[in-house]
């Protein structure tokens, strides 16, 4: 069994903000697979589905970004999911809008949701897809991540969401090395 989780903040006020990029990817995955991520479990909205025969838990933690690890660890323990079968999708200030980056492991890179997941799992050895949201040095970081995508960035952002969706679905039935070689493009 695999776990694909997209990070974000619950509530109308956070919809379509940069920090909810993980939720946006999860919504795109659900649409592609014709499922709904609506079951309330593990402090999250989840959906059990299959991708080409592979059983997958799709998850949108409802703990707010900085406490995402609480939800992830509950699902991991309940379903006995191996850390190598976890994929986390989240926003990244250090990637330009429209870019995604896949990694097999690594640090949180300053992303508080990832810091919390690493703390709860006691490892950095899980897969991730980072969705670029860029940054603007004139705007405080908190205002930037909680802000909406600018009109001039919308097309590139939507391409990145679609690419991250495709990468996540592909990763369910392929090695992550193969997935990275297909989707980590310059």
Q: Are strands 127-132 and 86-92 parallel, antiparallel or unpaired?
A: parallel
Query: Residue range 58-83: average pLDDT?
Result: 95
Evaluate if residue 176 carries a pLDDT over 80. Answer: yes
Work out the percent of the chain whose per-residue pLDDT is above 90.
82
State the CB neighbour count (10 A cutoff) for residue 156.
16
Task: Please count the CA atoms within 13 angstroms of the CA of 167 that sit on its side-chain side.
Answer: 32
- The model's confidence at residue 186, banded by pLDDT at 50, 70 and 90, is low
| pLDDT (tens digit per residue) in 15-52 | 889 999 999 999 999 999 999 999 999 999 999 999 99
Active site residue 120: no
What domains lie within the chain, and their CATH numbers?
Answer: 2-183 (3.40.50.1470)
Query: Residue range 105-111: average pLDDT?
Result: 79
Predicted structure pTM score: 0.93
Q: What is the pLDDT of residue 25?
A: 97
- Which of 19, 34, 80, 182 does the annotation list as catalytic? 19
């Amino acid at each position: 069994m695999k776990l694909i989780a997209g990070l974000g903040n619950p509530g109308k006020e956070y919809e379509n903000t940069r920090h909810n990029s993980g939720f946006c990817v999860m919504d795109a995955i659900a649409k592609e697979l014709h499922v709904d991520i609506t079951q309330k479990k593990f402090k999250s909205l989840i959906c059990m589905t299959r991708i080409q025969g592979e059983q997958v838990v799709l998850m949108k933690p409802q703990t707010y970004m900085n406490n995402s690890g609480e939800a992830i660890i509950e699902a991991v323990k309940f379903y006995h999911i191996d850390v190598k079968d976890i994929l986390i999708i989240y926003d990244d200030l250090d990637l330009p809008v429209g870019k995604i980056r896949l990694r097999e492991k690594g640090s949180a890179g300053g992303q508080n949701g990832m810091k919390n997941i690493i703390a709860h799992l006691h490892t950095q050895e899980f897969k991730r897809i980072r969705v670029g949201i860029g940054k603007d040095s004139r705007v405080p970081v908190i205002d930037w991540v909680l802000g909406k995508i600018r009109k001039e960035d919308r097309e590139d952002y939507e391409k990145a969401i679609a690419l991250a969706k495709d990468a996540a679905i592909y990763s369910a039935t392929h090695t992550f090395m193969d997935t990275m070689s297909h989707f980590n493009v310059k």
